[in-house]
Amino acid sequence: MSAGPVQQTSPTFVGMPAFPEAAREALANTQQRANLHHATRTIRAKRAGVVGEIEDWEALRVSGAAAKDEALHHLGDYLEQLEASLTAAGATVHWARDAAEANAVVVEIARAKGADEVVKVKSMATQEIELNEALEEAGISAWETDLAELIVQLGHDRPSHILVPAIHRNRSEIREIFAREMGEVGRPAPDDLTDDPARLAEAARLHLREKFLRAKVAVSGANFAVAETGTLVVVESEGNGRMCLTLPETLVSVVGIEKVLPTWADLAPMLQLLPRSSTGERMNPYTTMWSGAHDGDGPQDVHVILLDNGRSHVLADALGRQALRCIRCSACLNVCPVYERTGGHAYGSVYPGPIGAVLNPQLRGTASEVDQSLPYASSLCGACFDACPVRIDIPEMLVQLRGEVVQQGGHRAESAAMSAAAWVLSDPRRLAAAQKAATVAGRLVGDRTIRSVPGLGAWSDARDVPTPPKETFRQWWERERAEGSER
């Protein structure tokens, strides 16, 4: 197929309820809130420790952002170079406009190999395109091998965090899921399973080991793709990825077109920024790099699917393209007060938290209720920008997206309220009349607290409404002047 970003069709994402409704449900789940608070606080503390060890952390952030911007500003050229490098190394490159095309390629490859199952490395891109569902529909089982992804899969759940998909589960809940779901035909679930983390990890290893050994086809994503050498890079902490990337004969990697880096040297800052920002480690325990097919150890048949699925739309926005710098570290999630209280399910996508609040509306547009609400899922405190290892200015992007929502007619009640306020405030006589009317309401209410106002909905449900004054400043001024003249 021809190289370069392809003509775009509508991207595909997992459908979820709009942010406000899902967020209210999450806030009512006290166990989930406790799990999130503990997990994000722990990750923040670890990250702060290892980031503090580097004296020139800000210079490293600038270097990482520059490498990503160079790739994005000349993306077509670097994608063509990546394709040429991969092809020269024996890999087959496929181009996918959207989820349907990417899924069709994976299904076709699996069928050609006579495979009725695949093992998977943790991958946001394959979750984005709902690859597991497409494989299941084709009669092919997809086994998640990352521990957290396995918990989500066995729990018939959805991921709620970029790095730790099962962050909303505690170990007691995980034990219940494993005990209920791990039994297979001819093999019962472990009857001596406890909620000890080591025992849970052992159960997962036993559950997955035979799948690694018998699988003919593996599916992965990639953290980075180096155009200069055709090298794909996956970083992980458990070793399951290494087994998927080396044991099966066929490897299919689904790679977003924004993952490309120009040169091998550009990997240096990334491999320092990513582990410190994500897992709070100086280096990932497993960093696997491969370039094409292998005659000996490793996969003999390598396919790379370069996925657009809305990324070209994001690239066209001079400010919004910053979101494509994202290296999926999840640092912005771990410092976000909104995410910590609502969890990832409320964001309606596999990309939750602050980065999801800007990336999802850009990939999908702001026509739906959920995508109109996401830019407002932030306090604009700026913590996400401070934590981002590649300096994505998420607060600025949120403000821009809010403006787009308003221009497209979203949040009509708020827009009408702001228009009415502008009309009143633009004329002194109208303002004086409105203030006089407010004092009448203030005298009627007295000293009572206003806890709910019809029409203001969730805004007044979450805060007390200020009591209208019994006297305006104008009235006070006139009265004081009159009393002063009498004295």
Model confidence pLDDT, tens digit, residues 59-83: 999 999 999 999 999 999 999 999 9
Boundary residue ending a domain (309, 330, 349): 309
Per the domain annotation, does 421 fall within a domain?
Answer: no
Length of the chain: 487
- Angle value at C-alpha 88, between 82 and 92, nearest 5 degrees: 75
Could you list the residue range(s) of the whole structural domain that residue 102 is in? 54-309
Residues 181 and 302 occupy one common structural domain:
yes
Residue 9 belongs to some domain of the structure: no
- Looking at the structure, do residues 73 and 212 belong to the same domain, yes or no? yes
How much is the pLDDT for 80? 98
Same domain membership, residue 327 and residue 302: no
pLDDT at 487: 55
Last residue of a domain, one of 243, 274, 309: 309
Looking at residue 185, its pLDDT comes to 43
Flag whether 465 is in a domain: yes
Give 10-residue mean pLDDT values along the chain (487 residues): 45 48 72 86 94 95 97 97 97 97 98 96 95 97 95 92 90 92 63 88 90 94 97 94 93 98 97 95 94 84 97 93 96 94 87 94 84 90 97 96 82 70 90 86 73 65 75 85 68
Claim to verify: residue 366 and residue 255 sit in the same structural domain: no
What does residue 87 show for φ and ψ, rounded to 5 degrees?
A: -65, -40
User: How far, in Å, CA of 54 to CA of 416, rounded?
Assistant: 50
pLDDT of residue 130: 96
**Residues 361 and 386 occupy one common structural domain:** yes
Residue 2, in any domain of the structure:
no
Please tell me the predicted confidence (pLDDT) of residue 5.
Answer: 45
User: Do residue 404 and residue 434 come from a single domain?
Assistant: no
Label each residue of the chain as H, E or C: CCCCCCCCCCCCCCCCCCHHHHHHHHHHCHHHHHHHHHHHHHHHHHHHHHHCCCCCHHHHHHHHHHHHHHHHHCHHHHHHHHHHHHHHCCCEEEEECCHHHHHHHHHHHHHHCCCCEEEECCCHHHHHCCHHHHHHHCCCEEEECCHHHHHHHHCCCCCCCCCCCCCCCCHHHHHHHHHHHCCECCECCCCCCCCCHHHHHHHHHHHHHHHHHHCCEEEECCCEEECCCCEEEEEECCCHHHHHHHCCCEEEEEEEHHHEECCHHHHHHHHHHHHHHHCCCCCCCEEEEECCCCCCCCCCEEEEEEECCCHHHHHCCCCHHHHHHCCCCCHHHHHCHHHHHHCHHHHCCCCCHHHHHHHHHHHHCCCCHHHHHHHHCCCCCCHHHHHCCCCCCHHHHHHHHHHHHHHCCCCHHHHHHHHHHHHHHCCHHHHHHHHHHHHHHHHHHCCCCECCCCCCCHHHHCCCECCCCCCCHHHHHHHHHHHHHHC
At 29, the amino acid letter reads N
- Is residue 207 a part of any domain in this protein? yes
pLDDT given for residue 421 in this prediction: 86
Looking at the structure, do residues 382 and 268 belong to the same domain, yes or no?
A: no
The CATH code of the domain that includes 291 is 3.40.50.10420
Buried b vs exposed e over 12-48: b needs ≥16 C-beta within 10 Å? bbeebebbbebbeebeeeeebbebbeebbeebbebbe
Q: How do 260-261 and 224-226 pair as beta strands?
A: parallel
Domain boundary among 258, 275, 309: 309
Residue 42 resides in a domain: no
Residues 326 and 305 in one domain: no
Kindly state whether residue 4 falls inside one of the protein's structural domains: no
Residue 268 and residue 155 share a domain: yes
Same domain, 237 and 385: no
| Residue 203 maps to a domain | yes
Residues 123 and 206 in one domain: yes
| pLDDT at site 14 | 41
Furthest-apart CA atoms within the chain: distance in Å: 104
**pTM recorded for the entire structure:** 0.82
Number of domains present in the structure of the chain: 3
Kindly give the pairing relationship between strand 231-236 and strand 286-290.
Answer: antiparallel
Do 168 and 90 fall into the same domain?
yes
Per-residue pLDDT, 417: 74
103-120 burial, b for 16+ CB within 10 Å, e for fewer? bebbbebbeebebebbbb
Q: Six-digit token pair at 326? A: 């994202």
